[in-house]
Structure 1
């Protein structure tokens, strides 16, 4: 049985401000680093065999907290980056709504390709799915922790599970430093075993109010 733990990075100042990050390089804040330290022992207890991370520092620094406990090396893969949000990156969600009202309305309604250079969900799912399949194939029977981002995590998991984006929209956002547990069980394929698992006692910032996914 191969196990993938898909772990969202800790909190950032842009998360707290409801500012669109996408693939912008934004570091963890003090809360995000605390969340990573709280989550790391729980993940270390799962006895991971490998750690792979997005190359963006907020994910890589989250993964480093686990590596410090396990002694495992951390491999970086740019395919695990967050969805590219095009012209919205660096804007508050309120600013997006003001400057791109039509595209914002389509995004809120679940349009997988709303425009404004936002990466289509199909493309996001394919690159995330390819990365996750490759990571799993490299270590059959192992447990791999994958540090990534909220929107990317959801779409990548959907790709492995064969879930359409309309189904994924019914699932709440993955909170900061929380994770999804996927297991490949022989002929049964990939199965969802747990979702939004995380440490107790440390605040975990959800997606911005009214948003369709973490940004």
Structure 2
């Protein structure tokens, strides 16, 4: 599989507890969002061909900051706080939600959002909230249905078609969607094609 080496160059740049502490708002960024335990960190690590770039925790909700990863001088990936996990205090969830909304609404460098959904539990109320934000702010959105290896091929394709149909029916702006598996390393090329477009690579 020939993958763009730029993604393998990804390295940690900075963490920010609020937008004012983020790196300079210039260049190109793609943000990764998702409900806690949906496989967001694993997806980032798989797409960058690294094992520990994004922290993978057995305790969902550990990503509490905006984490910026540098690809080159002009391009970054951003790991947004995981949302919607019951064991995280409600006040903290609210604060995270405010931070994410501010980032989505104000960040000029942000060119698109990868929304990570567990293929076994797609389109949760928290996912809908993120989609609504992206639609409101006019942000391009791509949905990666992770952990698709947990389903049979037929069930995974059925989920893909149902989610795609729901997104077409309920949202005005187009939203692309794909199956993804970090374990099986499936869907990487399709995801990279979306990233390439948003990050102006190639």
Same fold by TM-score greater than 0.5: no
Taking structure 1 as the reference length, what is the TM-score of the superposition?
0.31
Which structure's residues are more often helix, by fraction?
A: 1
**Larger RCO (alpha carbons 8 Å, 6+ apart):** 1
Taking structure 2 as the reference length, what is the TM-score of the superposition?
0.32
Which structure's residues are more often strand, by fraction?
A: 2
